[in-house]
Each structure stands twice: as structure tokens, then as C-alpha cells.
Structure 1
Amino acid sequence: MKNKILFAIGDLRIGGVARVQSVIVNELNKKHHDIDLFSFRETESYYPLFKKVIFPEKSLNNWRFKKLLIQTGINKYILRRTVDMITRPNDKHFQNLVKYVEENKYSTIVLVEQWIIYAKKLKQIFPEVKLIGWLHLDLSHYENYHLAKSKDQFLNGLKGCDSLLVLTQEEKNVLEKRGLKKVQVLHNPLTLDDTNKVVDLNKKIISWVGRIDIFHKGLDYLIEIAKTIPADWKISVAGSGRDNKKFKKLIEKNSLTNKILWEGPKNGEELTNHYLNSSIFLMTSRFESFGLVLVEAMNYGLPITAFSQTGSDEILRNEQYGLVAENGNIKEISDKLKQLILNKDQREFWSKKSKERSKDFSLDKIVIEWEQVLGVEASNE
């Protein structure tokens, strides 16, 4: 008899977390594992998904979500209260989850991010069910930003999980120092379909991919970096997000409309072509727990330049596989970029390093690791 597995998730809107979740679930489903999805936010998946998503009663629909956003904004910016900066399930959603688990007899539940808050309560109700907590960010980010108001519940929930999945060795060390056990590093996989194409290193375009979130993704840094590159080079940006209007104003204010080519969100073949139409990849994020776009870019042989942070350090391994600058140091990262811009031999060297490293994140390899974590037999079907 196959194990029945439930992924309790937030939502599947556009973003790296949603993309990885959809790919992992699709691949496990393809291998005929019994997987279901339970989401407290009622949204359609931005990415192809071959499993129906279950929503609880009074799920967070668009109207409720907008109302919650307004309340959060008032509490944070007017009343100056501590708030959760990502939506989280409430007790009603939890009760619906419990009912659904009882009805369907799951042997394993993967609690993604916010759902970890309820891990201890779930363990009390279902002591025989295996609970796996899946973290996509650094613990400090959950404590101080994403789940700041629910911090104590979240930390307590971590202790209620049978095992915890994190994206980097650094984060594993952090959690173990907090006394948490059974912490495992499980990387996100390469999620693009076409993995055989390689970039033309003669193109005078630097690519950037990510959510348009000025602070998190360092788009203010990108503006300053753009001012330093040679006149015949461009930065091509793919992405969309809450700061679209602000980013547009920043580009215009700094007279960079001919230097920064913002192309909006891309997925599938369009995203592949975006990478292939460049010869260098730039990441400007202030913080990333992993940095899936780095792996995607490396898959196509793009030389990498990034700021040092948890995600890029894990993937690039202290400049073994790409050029790394001190976080926020515009001069240093601009100098690293020029090193690649002015020297094709350097681009070719780092292109080979990128291809070499990208193999460590193949989907087949990561899915086998997931099967081991879930305790299900690998399938060759």
C-alpha cells in the first residue's frame, strides 16, 4: 500500500517557492506517488499543476486577502505594531485541515513555511503521522519579517516537526544551534524543461530575473550598477511584482530606459530565451535562502556575478563557480562584472564552471532525494 502524502501550502502564485512546489508535486505525481495539496489561500496556480488543490472553508479568497493586506498595512505603518508580512493560515483553516487528514488517512504531511505554526497541535492529534517542515527562507527572516507576530508559534512549531528541510548547510547549522534535530539540506531543483541549450557568449547583454521587490531583490543596487557598465552593454530584466511602479520610476529618474530593458514576467520558453539572449547573469539580492534563478542561469552556461548571501554562497561555493562581491558593495560587483565584460576568455571559463555546477541540481536527482525524505519507494515508471 502506498503512503498517502499531503502538502499543506500557502499558495501557488508567481514566485520561486510556488514554482518549486509545483514541479516537485508534479514529478512525484508522475511517478505515481499518492500526493495531494491543501492550500489556505484560494488562487489558481501560475505554473502548470497536474493535481487538484483542496481549499478549506472560508479560504483566503481575493476579497479576504485584500482586506487582510489593508489591516496589515494599518497595523504596521500607522499603529507601528509587529505584524506577519506573509499571510498565514488561521484556526479555522487548521480545523479544516484536521478534518481533511482524518477523512483521507494521510501517513505524511509536508508543512510548507506558514503551516509549521500548527505542527505541535497536529502531532498531538495525529501522533502516528510523519510531519516534515519545509523552509524556503532563513530562520532570521521568518522571525523578524515574514512571521514576526507569530514568531513564538512558529519556533514552537519547528519543535513539533519530525524533520526539517532547509536549502543550505548554513541554515542547517543555525537550526541545530537552536537545539533542533533531524535537519536536512535539500536543494531546490532545476525547474526548466530544456536543459541542453548553451548561451552565445558574444552578446552584450546581462540578464537579471526575479520578483520586482526593490529591497529584497536589490533593484536599487541594480540601478547603480547599470550606470557603471559600458555604453554598448544592456541589462535585460525579467520579472514582475509589487514594486512595478516604483521600479519604473527609478529607471526613468536615473535616465536608464535605454540601459535597463525591463521585459515583464516570463515563464517557460520565454524565460529560456531570456537567459539565452545574454552572456552574463547578475543577481543583486540582499538576501536569498537559495536563489533558483542562479541555477537556471548556470544551466545555460551563463557566467554568474552575485552579492554574497546565504543562497549565492551555497550555490557558488566561495567563488568556485561564479564571481561574488561583498553584499551591497556596488564598486566591487561592478568591477567583477567588468572582468567578465572585457574578457571573453573569462566568460568562457566561468561558463564551463556554471554548467558543471548546474548538474548537482538536476530534477531527477532532487526528486530521488524527496522520495527518500518521504519514505516512499523510488519509481521508474
Structure 2
Amino acid sequence: MRLAILIHDYTAMGGTERVTLQLCNQLAKHHTITLISVQQTGKEPAFILSDNVQIKFLGDDAANMLKTLPQKVYVLRKILGEIKPNAVIASDSQMALLSLPATIGKRYQKIVWEHFNSQIETRFGSRWFARRLAARFAHTIVVLTQQDKREWEKKYHCKASVVVHANPCALPLPLLNPYRDAHVVLSAGRYTEQKGFDLLVKAWKCLSSEMRQGWVLRIVGPNGSAKTELLAAAKDDESIRIEGPSSNMKKCYLDAGIFVCSSRYEGFGLTIVEAMTHGVPVIAFDCPMGPAEIIKEEYGKVVELANISALSRELASMIGSKSNRQYYSERSFERASHFTPEITIGRWESLLEVCADKEVKIP
């Protein structure tokens, strides 16, 4: 098949970019893939991209997308006319603002891949409009969790079919559990309010000094609006390390004894899967949407959203018991096998085969 995948900026360093490029690499083994980037802010992509994937751009400016929307739709429609793809995948629901107008009157299968939480949107913002456009005019909406599928169907009254495809882990699953039981509590993500690192630091400080002795709380990730406040909260506490992004997340997970997802909300929770791939026991807030579906209680510990005391108690329980950590390490590693690229690409291949077989009616 010939497939066109639209993304905002293929050089950006984020979860959407990582899984999109990973999907491109996997699909390019059997199909002709064109990755179309609205813009390019970096010289090279932050993640590996196969030489078999062709790159196209809608422009070289970083202007507000809405201001240049007609022009970009025109350029995208022209590119799609040259490619003549069987399907157009908009990676991020916002991209539907471009992909759906650009495919009017064409026999392309229109797929919108949602990476975020459908409960989070600004009324009358670009994502607000894009999701409603996708629900009405796309053929298929791909979401990451069952909870989000229910939300889409209820909230947007979808004419499109809504399917669940969990994200794959970009890090390979080892043959044996590599867990080292290092005395490090790890958390990772951009320093924003969403990630709830402020809640994690408060929960950490609720632990007694005896409990924390010999242990370190380590947070890694790209800069964000909440970092300054977090640095202030961690000041003069040698047991807390606030670090920048890591170029070797595999080593971060191998050097961890416990992983915490303290997010107020998620689109999925890919860092949880990455931690599980390295056998790291996981504690997470029961936030919308994703973490609880990944952990399912039996593969880790889920605590009430934003309940600092509950999070602190679970940390104390895990820190205080090596056998507890070892048990949840084995369960964590077992769960990771459900999120390998081989499994997730199989779901995408099945979806695309169905799309290829469908007789598409021109709107």
C-alpha cells in the first residue's frame, strides 16, 4: 500500500513524534510510506527514521497553523495528489484540520490517530474543532485506551469508527528481566503541571528520613513551565535530583528500583510501559486516561488521583520491602510483553488491510 502520514513537526522530541516515526519505520518494511511534516524546527529528527521513508514538508515557516491553514491545505492536497495514497493518517487529532479538508472528494481512507486525552481541550480551540471534524468526516479514529474510546463515542457522537491501538514501546524487550533493584525512585516527562512532579516531591517528603536513607528521587525530562517551581521545592534536599532530558533512557530505567507516574492526566502513559520493559515496579495515580488500564492493579500499584498521602504510603511499602519490589518487578516485566512493536504493528496492519478492502464513497 501507499500510505501518507501527517505530523506537525517530525523533528520534535516528544511521545507523539517517537511513536509516529516508529510506526513509519515498521510500515516501511512492507509499504510505501511518505511522512508529511507541517514544519521542521530541528535539523534532524530526534528519533531514528528509516531511509525508506520519504519526507515531504508543507512549508519552512513556524507560523501559527491556523493563520496559514488554507495555504497548507492546498499544498497538502497537491502532495497527496502526487502520492495517491490508499490511506492518509493524521498523527494527532489537530492534524485533521489539514488532512480532512485536503482529502475532500478523494477516495483515500481517512484515519485520525489521537495521542492525547479527549477530556482535555480548549473550547473552540484548534483541537476542539479538529476532533469534531474527525468524528464527522474521518473513516476511522485510532485512540490509545478503552476509556478514551468510550469518551470519543459519547462526547463526539462519532460517525467514524473508533478503534483502540495502544502505543508500542520504543525500547526492545530483553529476553530476561534486567531489573537491578537500584535504590532510585524514577519519574520522567516534560516539566509541566500535567506530570504532577510537584505532587511526587510532596509525597517523597512525607517519607521519614530513615525511610529515604540510601534512596534517591530522580526526575528526568525536557524543560517546561513547572521546572522552576519544582527546583525550588527540591532545594537543599540532597535526596532529590531534578535533571534535564536523558539521551539514554534505557540506562535510566536500568538504574531505577521503582518508577512513579504522578500525572494529573495522560494520553496513554508510555513511560510506564518503558519502565515495565526493564522490569521496574510501577506506582501510578489513577488519572485519566491510560495508567490504570496498563497496570490493571495486578501489574503494579494504582493510587487515588492527586492523593499525596496514598502515594507516600505506596512508596513506603515498596521501599521497605525488597520482596515486594521483586514481585512487582516480575509482574511489570510480564505486562511489558503486551506492548511490543510486533504486537502493535500487527493491529495497524489489520486496520490498514480493512481500509484497503473497503469501497470508499466520495463525500
Give TM-score scaled by structure 2 length.
Answer: 0.87
SS in 1 for 2:323: helix
Q: What does 1:7-86 correspond to in 2, within 5 Å? A: 7-12=5-10, 13-29=12-28, 31-43=29-41, 44-50=44-50, 51-57=53-59, 59-61=60-62, 64=63, 68=64
Confirm or deny: 8 A CA contact 1:88 1:115 kept in the other structure.
no
> 2:197 aligned with 1:204, yes or no?
no
> 2:314 aligned with 1:341, yes or no?
no
Q: Deviations over 1:74-132 (max 9, x none)?
A: xxxxxxxxxxxx98972211110000011121111001221112454244231x11011
Aligned equivalent of 1:313, options 286, 292, 306: 292
Displacement of 1:254 after TM fit?
4.2
Distance 1:167 1:194 in 2: 20
Distance 2:340 2:134 in 1: 31
Displacement of 1:324 after TM fit?
0.9
Aligned equivalent of 1:251, options 231, 244, 254: 231
Aligned equivalent of 2:129, options 152, 160, 163: 152
2:216 aligned residue: 234
Q: What does 1:88-103 correspond to in 2, within 5 Å? A: 90-103=69-82
Distance 2:275 2:300 in 1: 11
**After TM superposition, where is structure 1 displaced by more than 6 Å over at least 4 residues in a row?**
86-89
Q: Deviations over 1:197-223 (max 9, x none)?
A: 51112x21111111121x111121122
Aligned equivalent of 1:173, options 147, 150, 166: 150
Distance 2:35 2:166 in 1: 21
Distance 2:7 2:125 in 1: 19
Displacement of 1:250 after TM fit?
2.9
Displacement of 1:241 after TM fit?
2.4
Q: Deviations over 1:342-380 (max 9, x none)?
A: 011111111111011110001111111111112289xxx
Confirm or deny: 8 A CA contact 2:69 2:98 kept in the other structure.
no
1:140 aligned residue: 119
Displacement of 1:284 after TM fit?
0.8
- Structure 2 gap segments, 5+ residues each: 356-363
Percent of pairs identical after alignment?
A: 28
2:308 aligned residue: 330
32 and 347 in structure 1: CA distance in 2 versus 1, 3 angstrom threshold: same
301 and 187 in structure 1: CA distance in 2 versus 1, 3 angstrom threshold: same
2:360 aligned residue: none
- Structure 1 gap segments, 5+ residues each: 69-85
Distance 1:88 1:45 in 2: 25
Q: Deviations over 1:232-264 (max 9, x none)?
A: 311112211223xx5245334443541222332
Q: What does 1:281-292 correspond to in 2, within 5 Å? A: 281-292=259-270
SS in 1 for 2:35: strand
Q: Deviations over 1:17-60 (max 9, x none)?
A: 1111111111211x231111111121331111123421113x43
SS in 1 for 2:172: coil
Confirm or deny: 8 A CA contact 1:7 1:37 kept in the other structure.
yes
2:2 aligned residue: 4
Confirm or deny: 8 A CA contact 2:9 2:39 kept in the other structure.
yes
Confirm or deny: 8 A CA contact 1:116 1:158 kept in the other structure.
no
285 and 272 in structure 1: CA distance in 2 versus 1, 3 angstrom threshold: same
Q: Deviations over 1:295-341 (max 9, x none)?
A: 01011111100100211011012x12111111110000110111100
Distance 1:257 1:20 in 2: 36
Distance 2:49 2:217 in 1: 32
> 2:279 aligned with 1:277, yes or no?
no
40 and 151 in structure 1: CA distance in 2 versus 1, 3 angstrom threshold: same
Displacement of 1:155 after TM fit?
0.5
Give TM-score scaled by structure 1 length.
Answer: 0.84
Amino acid in the other structure paired with 1:277: D
Distance 1:166 1:88 in 2: 28
Distance 1:311 1:116 in 2: 23
Confirm or deny: 8 A CA contact 2:184 2:256 kept in the other structure.
yes
Distance 2:58 2:188 in 1: 33
Distance 1:253 1:174 in 2: 36
Confirm or deny: 8 A CA contact 1:219 1:247 kept in the other structure.
no
Confirm or deny: 8 A CA contact 2:76 2:102 kept in the other structure.
no
Q: Deviations over 1:130-160 (max 9, x none)?
A: 011100012221x337x72552353123311
Aligned equivalent of 1:368, options 346, 351, 358: 346
